[in-house]
Amino acid sequence: MADETKPASGDSAGLSNGLVSHGDHKSRRVYQAARSLHSGAVKDLLSLGVCERCIFRLVSVEAFDSDLSSVSASTLRSWLESGDEEAASSEESSCCIVCLGVLQFVFSDAKQTLVRSECGSDYAARVTDLVKEEGHEFDSFGLEVYVPATILENERAVLLYLKGKYNSESWLQSEKISVKDALKVLVLDPLKVSLGAKSDSSSFQIRLTYSKASDEAQGASETTRERKKRKTGMSRLYDHHITWLTLLFDLVAIYISLYNEENGSTSMSENSFEKVYEPCILSIHCNKMPIFFSGRYFKYSRNVSQTRWIIDDERMGEASVEVVHLELIGGNILPACLGDSYKFHAAGREDIDVRMLGSGRPFLIEVQNSRKCPSQQSLTEIEEKINKSEKKLVGVKDLKFIGSQCWAMMREGEAEKQKQYAAIVWIARPVEEKDIDSISSLKELKILQKTPVRVLHRRSPLERERTIHWMKVEKIKGSSHYFLLHLCTQAGTYIKEFVHGDLGRTTPSMGSILGCRAEIIQLDVTDVKMGDS
């Protein structure tokens, strides 16, 4: 147990500390890997202030894997050190110059307190606490990590230094795993255990965002600093000279940095390693993909005011077609899902003064970032609650949860939808029997509609051909000038303009068919035929 296998490439200056205990084979693997690292490089990096796991990441030939998370940083350090006194253990508490504490499991939380975790499971436990605060219900999750950009710059600087010193070494040539991916590898398994969930690219994402503690750019790369100096110097020149001269300088700077990357530089410029490195601030955000509910809605209110127009100088838009009280439906579902917000999509819409009766219009509610998925039982309760509400403005039918095929359901039949209406029509002369017959006999009547004046300000002026599939006239008791007109038309037909003719821009119109003036008093949608549902 006391003798460890000596590595092939290491020099014999590295004495192994035989007092390390190997409880399980994971730790032993890590120990062996630690001892197999190039000890000169390890010593250099330790003295620069690079953390243990970053050293593993940068110097090891083997793939960086999750076994490392079970070993605490201090243990790792003791295995990496050769026992020389120069490796001062008081550096333990300082922040890594490459990963800024990310891989050391050190971060500041929202209250600016420093949180340290020794090993992966401890870190996972803290993350779990923060995730649980968001209140989501989930059984699988995906993990995303965001780190500040300076980490990449720091890493590049360190690699340059290593290349300068150990250019020919084999371990230098392999692809190094990034800090982001390294963190994911380290914490994924402990998180799975601690959250009690599977991991997959699912609908629920946990995002760990590390951001820099201070706002000033630390360790800015050479090129940006030079660029800043240059700008003040060039202020005397004309603008157009500046643009292509700065372009030229940028190209030169890029060339220089490329050259450096290939050949390395033996010493780092004084600017690079004198900064104070602070741990990052970690914020956790959980996001669930939107969930959908479908159903059919009815609209019973006909929000018409007597004075429809106000004579003033403001350009008044048409009465808003977005019906505010339809939001009642979403407003009831959102609390049941504990979501952040919702969007209401309907398969078409009707004017504010038109009621939606009959079989209802299909709609979708999209809930963003819902915390829990309501059961069918609770959906039925919501439906009843809306239908029984006092004001009787809207009604809902068939409210249910629906998966990703919802959009297909909306798209299909959108252009082929036939719609049925019932309108109360007034004409200038009494209704006669022959009118009823002549109207009912018109099947598949083709009409040409120019864009109605009431929407002409926001739609293109086109001439649209539409079909009226059938019509039926019903006399109204007690009035000789009014009748009830049932009609079934192609999607996109303007019914009001078909009745009153829109200054003659819709032909044929009810008025031209009957030979007298016709006006529409009220309009109701009685059916919205979807493809099959």
The residues carrying an active-site annotation are 351
One DSSP character per residue, 365-390 reads: EEEES-SSPPPHHHHHHHHHHHHT-T
Beta-carbon count within 10 A of 292 CB: 19
Angstrom distance (rounded) from CA 448 to CA 446: 7
Give the neighbor-by-neighbor strand order of the sheet with 198-199. 114-116, 106-108, 281-288, 204-211, 140-146, 198-199
Residues 333 and 365: beta-carbon distance below 8 Å: yes
- Residue closer to another protein (CB basis): 90 or 460: 460
Residues 99 and 279: beta-carbon distance below 8 Å: no
244: left (phi over 0), alpha (psi -120 to 50) or beta: alpha
Burial 11-48 (b: 16+ CB within 10 A, else e): eeebebeeebeeeeebbebbbbbbbbbbbbbbbbbbeb
Residues 382 and 399: beta-carbon distance below 8 Å: yes
Angstrom distance (rounded) from CA 365 to CA 356: 18
Can you name the residues that pair with 116 across neighbouring β-strands? 106
Minimum CB separation of residue 426 from another protein in Å reads 5
484 burial via Cβ count (<10 Å: 0-12, 13-18, 19+): middle
- Residue closer to another protein (CB basis): 23 or 317: 317
Angstrom distance (rounded) from CA 480 to CA 207: 70
- Residue closer to another protein (CB basis): 56 or 483: 483
Cα end-to-end distance, the chain, whole Å: 73
**Binding-site ranges for another protein (CB under 8 A):** 300, 308-309, 311, 313-319, 355, 357-358, 422, 424, 426, 428-429, 450, 453-461, 476, 478-479, 481-482, 484, 496, 500-504, 516-517, 519-522, 524, 526
- Residue closer to another protein (CB basis): 150 or 509: 509
Angstrom distance (rounded) from CA 97 to CA 68: 20
Beta-carbon count within 10 A of 322 CB: 9
Minimum CB separation of residue 503 from another protein in Å reads 5
- Residue closer to another protein (CB basis): 248 or 453: 453
- Residue closer to another protein (CB basis): 289 or 516: 516
Minimum CB separation of residue 218 from another protein in Å reads 50
Residues of the chain by 3-state class (helix, strand, coil), percent to 5: 35, 25, 40
Minimum CB separation of residue 345 from another protein in Å reads 22
Minimum CB separation of residue 422 from another protein in Å reads 5
Minimum CB separation of residue 351 from another protein in Å reads 12
Minimum CB separation of residue 388 from another protein in Å reads 17
* 216 φ/ψ angles, rounded to the nearest 5 degrees: -70, 145
- Residue closer to another protein (CB basis): 129 or 463: 463
Burial 466-478 (b: 16+ CB within 10 A, else e): bebbbbebeeeee
Minimum CB separation of residue 421 from another protein in Å reads 10
